Amino acid sequence: MRRVRVRLLSALVAALVWFAPLRAVDVLPDRLADDAFWGLIGTLSEPGGVFQSENFLSNETGFQVVIPTLTQTTRPGGVYMGVGPEQNFTYIVALRPKMAFVVDIRRQNLLEHMLYKALFEMSDNRADFLSRLFSRKRPEGLSARSTVDQLFSAYADAPVDADAFRKNLQTINELLIRTHKFGLTSEDESTIEHIYTVFHDFGPDINYNSGAGRRGGNGMPDYATLMTATDLLGEQRSYLATEENYRFIRDLEGRNLVVPLTGDFGGKKAIRAVGQYVKDHDAIVSAFYLSNVERYLFQSNGLNRNGGWTNFYGNVATLPLDSSSTFIRSVGGGVPGGLGGMRLPNVLSSMQDTLAAVESGRIQTYNDVVSISR
C-alpha cells in the first residue's frame, strides 16, 4: 500500500511539474510602476504623425447612445482600446476594463492624456477637477451630490483664476517630471502648456475647433454639452456624470492603467505591439473605439502612407479577440446621412465579423464598413 501511495504521489508531482507551464499565465497587472508605465509608452509607441486638427475635445454628441448595448454585450475586466481625448474616459467607466490603451497618430493627444492624468491625481472630486481643468475658481455650493448639469451651470459663469493656472501648471510639471520621473522633453512641456492654455482660455466653452485663436464653434458641441449628453433613455453616462464614474477613472489613472500611445492605425507597430502585450497577459481586447478614423484610412491622402485600411485590419487581426469584442464607430460627416460633425449616434460592430468581411472581400469602401454596423 505504501508503494502505491508513493507511486501516486510521484505521479501527482510529475503532473504538477508537467502542467505548471500551462498554468503559469501572466495576467494583467493591478498597477504599473511609474518606470514600467513610461517604458510601456516608449516600447509600444511608434513615430508620431499629423492630423488636420488638434482635437482638444470630441465632437461626437451621440457617443453615449451605444453604451447600454455595450454593457450588455462586452465583458468587463478585459482591455479597452481607443483613440482621441476625453470620450475614452466615458467608454472606460461604462465598460470597466482592467486596462486601457489610447492610440493616436498625434503625440499631442498622448500629452493631453498626460495632462489629464496629472489633473486626476490632483483632484479628489469632480468639482475640484473642473476647477483645475478650466482654471476657474470653484463656485460655492458644489458637492459630491451635485449633478453634472449643476456642475457645468456653476462653472459657466465662474471667473478665470490666472494665479491658479500658473500654480497648477507648475504642479502638473512637478508631478509628471519630478515625482513620477516620466521622460518628458522640453518640447513636451511646451505642448502640455499649450494644451492647458487652450483649456484656460476657452473654459467650459472649449470645443473641437478651439485653439489657434478661434472662437467660433461652427456648430461643434462644447465640453458641457458632451458631459451632459444622454443615451436614448435619457441617462447621463459621461465620466463626469457621477462621483462614482469619476472615482473609477481616477483610480485607474492613479494605477497607471490608462496608457496613451502614439501610433498610426495603418502603421506597422503600435496596434500590433498592444496586441502582443495583451496576448502575453492572457487577456482579450473587449472594445476598440475608432471614432471615424477608418474613413481617413480609406481616403487616398497622406494618412495612407503606411497602407491605410488594409494595413489597419491586418493589425486588428493580430489582436486577441473573442465573439464579444466590439468596434465602436462614429459615422457623422462624410457618409450619406451625416449632419456635418459627429451628430449621429455612434454605431457598433463585431470585430471578428468585420475581419471576416474584410477577408471575404465584402469590405472595399468606408460605406461598406458603415453598412455592417448597427
Per-domain residue ranges of the chain: 26-371
Any idea which of 71-85, 118-132, 213-227, 310-324 has the lowest mean pLDDT? 213-227
pLDDT in tens, 130-152: 999 999 999 999 999 999 999 99
Q: Cα separation of 158 and 161, whole Å?
A: 9
Q: Which of 220, 229, 177, 171 is nearest to 196 (CA)?
A: 171
Give 50's pLDDT tier (boundaries 50, 70, 90): confident
Beta-carbon contacts of residue 136 (< 8 Å; ≥ 6 apart): 130, 155, 158, 159, 160, 161, 203
Q: Which of 216, 184, 53, 67 is nearest to 115 (CA)?
A: 184
Any idea which of 66-80, 156-170, 324-338, 340-354 has the lowest mean pLDDT? 324-338
Which class for 255: exposed (0-12), middle (13-18), buried (19 or more C-beta within 10 A)? Answer: middle
203 SS3 class = helix
pTM (2 decimals)? Answer: 0.88
**Which carries the bigger pLDDT value, residue 351 or residue 214?**
351
291 SS3 class = strand
Q: Cα separation of 291 and 56, whole Å?
A: 14
Decide: 113 and 85 in contact? Cβ < 8 Å: yes
* pLDDT score, position 332: 67
